[in-house]
Amino acid sequence: MAKAVGKSNKKNGLREQTRLVRGGLRRSSFAETSEAIFMNSGYVYASAEEASGAFAGKNDHFIYSRFSNPTVSMFEDRLAQLEGAEACRATATGMAAVFASLACQLRAGDRVVASRALFGSCLYVVQDQLPRWGIETVLVDGRDLKQWKAALSKKTKVVFFESPSNPTLEIVDIAAVSKLAHKAGARVVVDNVFSSPVLQKPLQLGADIVVYSATKHIDGQGRAMGGAILGSRDYIDTDLTPFLRHTGPALSPFNAWVLVKSLETLELRMARHCDSAEQVAEFLATHPKIASVAYPTRKDHPQRALAKKQMSGGGNVVTFAIKGGQKAAFKFLNKLALVDISNNLGDSKSLITHPATTTHQRLPAETRKLYGIGDDMLRLSVGLEDVADLIDDLAQALA
């Protein structure tokens, strides 16, 4: 990895919010206050010897922005400090992060055990793509430790899951599954998108690798795509970095700049997201036209105790079922005046989607049924608007 530009301000012992504002900051010789955008693809060398030394890894020098870039490095270092990870690498999207985190360490003959409650594209990677390369994949109900235990009674290379899951908000016991996985010789990869790095720290619970779609809460304002992979120095340097360097899912420096600045407000935004989501969940749970509501830390969530043990807040997504099935769900969506119909989430703008016909449309109807993704289900990403306006909008659309 290439050297810092200017002086690094990495200070140990600072509290989380301070690290979110200052972690990884590297000022250039212009002494700018705010992080700079190094919008360049290449770097120059003072001599042929310096160039040759850089490629041989003998001197610290940025080489090419497909490999690393100063603005991208600031984002990676800030996120690593927040997560408490030894190292981080950023990618162009969340799916690039999911795919690279797995592909860089798997080979034909390996075995992967994953929770079946996954985002549609994650399911595609695990269920459709990996088996084409001779990798055996086994899906379990991630809530059921007995199923994990049975599946992990054989030697396994990687365990992969989301918690909470998209869109059903199922919780996986990260500490217990990590123990079982380690006994089977597996590394545990957690897609921590729904929690964000503020609300849940899988590495502290025993997981080995964490992946993010930074497109969601980390940007949090619907502007930039991005992803990140965090883990041990050994995994990042030995498995991941050569894979990224030669396959090229690099994050744009401009997007990295958007994301590093967004980290400064992530904790503040997540606190407000959680507070508003709790109020929206409470409103929906008491409405006569709503059949059921899922929110991880609510008293009626079947895995509430586990959610509270491993998360410091329930997140901003509320999933609910409306009486009257898909017809009623579509009618309700079309009546909303403030909340936008969109498949994205984690935005300052409240967004709602009908998973069965959007994010999980690809799955056969019987699989959706098995996974609990009903035609009456809606996934609401509660934004940062005044929560009273959101509840007014939901109420008028239900009426």
Ligand X SMILES: Cc1ncc(COP(=O)(O)O)c(C=O)c1O
Shorter beta-carbon distance to ligand X: residue 290 or 378? 378
Interface with ligand X in residues 209-238 (CB under 6 A): 213, 215, 225, 227
Shorter beta-carbon distance to ligand X: residue 65 or 166? 166
Is position 122 an interface residue for ligand X (rule: CB under 6 A)?
A: yes
**Closest-CB residue for ligand X?**
94
CB of 160 to ligand X, least distance (A): 11
Question: Binding string, 19-58, against ligand X, x = CB under 6 A?
Answer: ----------------------------------------
Q: How far apart are CA 116 and CA 240, in angstroms?
A: 25
Is position 318 an interface residue for ligand X (rule: CB under 6 A)?
A: no
Q: How far apart are CA 364 and CA 371, in angstroms?
A: 11
Q: How far apart are CA 233 and CA 87, in angstroms?
A: 5
Question: Which has the closest alpha carbon to 326: 316, 337, 318, 334?
Answer: 334
* Binding test (CB under 6 A) with ligand X, winner from 95, 102, 186, 384: 95
Is position 98 an interface residue for ligand X (rule: CB under 6 A)?
A: yes
CB of 159 to ligand X, least distance (A): 16
Stretch that binds ligand X, among 24-32, 89-97, 149-157, 284-292 (CB under 6 A): 89-97
The two tokens of residue 281 are: 């969940």
Is position 193 an interface residue for ligand X (rule: CB under 6 A)?
A: yes
Q: If DSSP codes are grouped into helix, strand and coil, which group holds residue 388?
A: helix
Which residues in the chain belong to E strands, given as ranges?
87-91, 111-115, 136-140, 158-162, 187-191, 209-213, 227-231, 290-294, 317-322, 340-341, 351-353, 377-381
- Helices 70-83 + 253-263 axis angle, to 10: 30
Strand partners, 209: 189
Residues contacting ligand X: total by CB under 6 A: 15
Residues found near ligand X in the complex (CB under 6 A): 93-95, 98, 119, 121-122, 162, 166, 191, 193, 213, 215, 225, 227
